[in-house]
Each structure stands twice: as C-alpha cells, then as structure tokens.
Amino acid sequence: MSLAFPGSRSTSPRMSRAPAMTSCGSSCRRPISEGLRLRPSGHPSSIAGIREHEAARRFSPSRSTMRPAGNVASGAAWRNWRRVVPIAALALLLGACGTRQPAGPPVAGDPLESFNRDVLDFNMAVDDAAIRPVAMGYRKVVPAAGRRRVRAFLDNLDEPRIFANQLLQFRPLDAGETVLRFVFNSTIGLVGLYDVAGEWGLSRHRGDLGQTFHEWGVGDGPYLMLPILGPSNARDLVGWIGDGFLNPVNWLLPIEATLARGTVDGIDVREQNIEGLDDLRYGSLDFYARLRSVWQQRRDAELGRGGSSPEGFDVLEDPGATP
C-alpha cells in the first residue's frame, strides 16, 4: 500500500522518517500534518503510539461503558439499593403473612373454608361500617333496664316456636313449662316485658328446628359462614328457614313487623357481644378459626353433646336460655 501526500515524491511502501515539507522551500520546515504520521512496523514509537491510542479509545468518555465522573455517587447509590431492595421485599412478605392466615387445607367439617373466610371478611366490613356503630348507639341511647325489657319481649315472642320444637322432640315436660311461661309473661309480665315466670322457677328452654333435626339423627353438614347472620351449618340453616314458618307469631304479624322484629333482635344481640366479639377478633391469631371453634363449642353444648359453652361470649344467641 502506498500513500501520497502533497509535496511528497516517495512512492515507496515505507515512508521516510523525515516529515514532509512545505512547497516554499524555505527554512520554515513544518509537517503538513502533525496528527498523521506513520512509522514502520515494529518501530518502538509506533508500538507505544498504538498502545496509547488503544488505552485512550478504551477509556474514552464517548464509549458506552464509561461512566461520567458525575455519576460516581449514583453508582454507589445503585449498589446500596441492590442491598436494600431484597430486605424491603422480605419485610413486606413477613408483614403480609401477619395480616391474614392462609386458609390451607380444609379442616374436617369445613370444606368451604376459603369461601367462608371471604364471607367473614364481608361480614366484618359491614359490621364495622354499620352494625357495630348502630349497636353502640343503641347501647348509648337505651339504658340497660330498657334493653332488658326489649330482650324479654323478643324472647317471649319465641316461646311458641320453642314449644313446637319441644313437641317434635318428644319433650312434653319442657313443652308444658314453655306454655306456662308464655301465658304468665304475656299477661302478668305485660306482653313479655317482664320475665315473671323465670322468677317463679320456670326456666326458659331452647328449641329450634336445627336442634330437632339433630334429635332425629340428621348430621351437621358442612360449616357455613352466612352473610350477615354469621356462623351456622347446613342443617341449622335449613332449620332456621323452617323455624320462620313454624312460629305461629309470624303468621299473625305483618311482614313489616316481622322484619322490624328481626332487625331489633339482631341489634340487641350485637350490643350484648360488642366486647366479646372485639376481644375474639383482635386477640386471636386466626379470627376465623377461633370464631368457628367458639361457635361449635356452644352449639355442641346446646345439643347436649358434652361441649362446654364459653363463658362471657355469645355468638348470635341469648346466653340466658337453657337447652
């Protein structure tokens, strides 16, 4: 290869060491191009120049691998973030584990646990937004003596239903006491506002269609968390629907009065359980599992299966009644 430059007459592949001169021929000898100077291969200065050129090109600011001096701090910050991000992710994971217990494999008797947990979340959202505030207002407005009169009146309206179930369960003595209670409280007790029969030794009994089905040998069925109504099971749900038709009081009252009665009953029961439900909810690692256990224990005690009824806590039931 030959390179020709203005003012140079050499056509040899190797160029002279002397720099090319200007055409003036005077003593002012200057290289035409100081930046373009070729050396023979193997020349020491040529090798050093190549190395310098490669080093300059490698660390040139124009290359994408070179970080500007101003980004040194950002590089250190990035290295710190690489350490912080995994720690933050682990903290979020541990926090998520503490907010709600996973459903896991369904326990015996609760094959719908995942669905039931969702219903419980819905129930507690409604409770926080409406039911609990109304129950708190009911407690604040109505004194304790007035609330006792309301509960006695509502209990008296349930006596015909209890009587019917006692007959279906072949419990004639209990049925006789229930009749006397209803008569005395409806008359002397001013339509049930006062439990005079209880003061005379006639205790209030329980009796619902779910209990009757149990006496007939019907199994519990799967555990259910009902919207608004709370814990139950398949057998008791059918019994609850049947009790609505079995109670003759519901035949006599208009539908509006029946709905109003059910609403007041629910508010009164919620007022009785404000502290108990709060303690259970915020004092349990798994509120759902604990509520299920408490309800099942109480229901077992009502059905005479040897379960102990938890003290001071009533899941949607009046604690004053006996099985």
Other C-beta atoms closer than 10 Å to the C-beta of 7 total 10
Q: Name the 3-class secondary structure at 55.
A: helix
The angle formed by the CA atoms of residues 132, 138 and 139, to the nearest 5 degrees, is: 90
pLDDT at 304: 84
What is d(CA 210, CA 146) in angstroms, rounded to the nearest whole number? 31
Contact yes or no for 177/321 (Cβ under 8 A): no
pLDDT digits (tens, 9 = 90+) for 39-82: 555 555 555 555 655 555 554 544 444 444 445 445 555 455 45
The alpha-helical segments, DSSP class H, found in the chain are 44-58, 72-99, 113-126, 132-141, 144-168, 172-187, 196-199, 209-215, 234-246, 248-252, 255-272, 274-282, 287-302
pLDDT at 72: 47
What is d(CA 228, CA 119) in angstroms, rounded to the nearest whole number? 9
Contact yes or no for 197/181 (Cβ under 8 A): yes
What is d(CA 181, CA 160) in angstroms, rounded to the nearest whole number? 10
What is d(CA 165, CA 323) in angstroms, rounded to the nearest whole number? 12
Give the residue extent of every domain in the chain. Answer: 113-302
Among 148, 183, 145, 149, CA closest to 163: 183
Residues of the chain with confidence (pLDDT) below 70 = 1-108, 305-323
What is d(CA 157, CA 249) in angstroms, rounded to the nearest whole number? 7
Rounded to the nearest angstrom, the gap between the alpha carbon of residue 175 and the centroid of all alpha carbons in its chain is: 45
What is the DSSP code string of 174-208? HHHHHHHHHHHHHHTTTTTTS-HHHHTT---B---
pLDDT at 46: 54
